[in-house]
A and B are shown apart, each in its own frame.
Chain A
Amino acid sequence: MDKLAAFGRLGLDIIASLGRSGRFLAGVLGGVSKPSVAFPLLLKQLYSIGVLSLAIIVVSGLFIGMVLGLQGYTILSDYGSEAAIGQMIALTLVRELGPVVTALLFAGRAGSALTAEIGLMKTTEQLSSMEMMGVDPLRRVIAPRLWAGFIAVPILAAVFSVVGIWGGMLVGVEWLGVFEGSFWGNMQSSVSFTNDVLNGVIKSVVFGFVCTWIAVYQGYDCVPTSAGISSATTKTVVYSSLAVLGLDFVLTAVMFGDF
């Protein structure tokens, strides 16, 4: 009976948390600040969330592209189809790995930092003091971060895919000797802008929004102690990763599941 009650309580807690996060999101999106105030704050966050994430995105993209080139060549050469390596790398990156890996890296690098920063602001009463000064922290602190994540992730995903393709080209063409014309030509003929590139962009927009929402909400809702911040940061990475992978399946089924 106790286990049943605990299970029920867990369910109620989850529903309550979802409700709180929904209200939180409505509060963030509902408020509109003056552009002269909001734009500088957004730019600052775009820099710390987006620009400072570029290094990990570029390096990861390069290595993943190189691994794809190597693995693709090994497999495709068994069938004498190593010329198709370009389209394989491009489709894999644009459709799947670009949006998914970027979102996972973003959750680990920027999402956790967002949660810790907002959680620490809450713990040190900076958010409360802002409220008492007549400044809404949802607009001043949360909204610029949410929009910055929403904007940054698709751009980072595009950078990831471009660098990955270049890494795959380095391995496939420069190292393993695949004909350069086949590499680029097959890619150009098989990658569709609407079906592949656009769907990849839609995925990264969704992932960016969800990851940033989770990160800012966990920070804002954390227990204001050091253990609370630690727990919230962990939750951000875990929930974001699971959400990205789960949503990826759903979106892939919707976008490419026309069997």
Chain B
Amino acid sequence: MAMSNNARARILPGFGPTLGLTLAWLGFVVLIPVASLLLKGLAIGPAEFWSAVSGPRAVASYRVTLSSALAAATVNGVAGLLVAWMLVRWPFPGRRIVDALIDLPFALPAAVGGIALTAVFGPNGWIGSLAYPLGLRTAYSRIGLLLAMTFVGLPYVVRSVQPVLEDLDPEIEEAAFALGATRWQSFAHAVLPILTPALLSGFALALARGIGEYGAVIFISGNLPLETEVTSLVVTIKLDQYDYAGAAAVAIVMLAVALLLLLAVNLLQGRSRAYQAA
């Protein structure tokens, strides 16, 4: 594997310019601005940094944000795979319309998404008015938070899996099926491994988007301290107290978590590709 890659590196041209452009642009748009945040947050010294990031509200917000984002990404992983499969393999009337709709959460400003969700799931909304009498608080609660994060993360899994699935020959499953495997076995053993990198990538992006989401969340979560207050809001609150350094410190924690998550998933992806190649 490694050898063939080295061979590849020698064979194809364009490595220098493309990597250079990537690094330069990434540096200008992401790395230098993010470095200014690191400098700001770390300038206050470890003791103050620690007290800024370990306050009870900050810690509670990490728990709330991370658990909700994980749940939302899991929902999106399952539902997104199903939807991508439907769109690619099971033609049904109105498929193209559904396909077009998937990207809606991207196009909508997050705040509009939040307001629209609240209009549907709020106590006097279309769904809320049915759910509330059953004791299901679909807005201003953890459920509302979960709904908002699921909404903004929905396109990521579908759009990551869909192109790979479209490229995948249905004959692979057919062959496995013909060899006596059940539909589920042929899916699990022949198709799922190929989809895994894309699926993981979509899951990670949905997770990351959920962790960072602000606009959609503040309208529907209720923002109660310790219960439904997300970390983005904690950052905003610190800014409103003119505490730039404290805000930067909490932001650094968010950045670090996100970066670790993304690194882990990218490593996993690399491993699953190696497995496939073997």
> A and B: real partners?
no
Report B's interface with A, CB cutoff 8 A: none
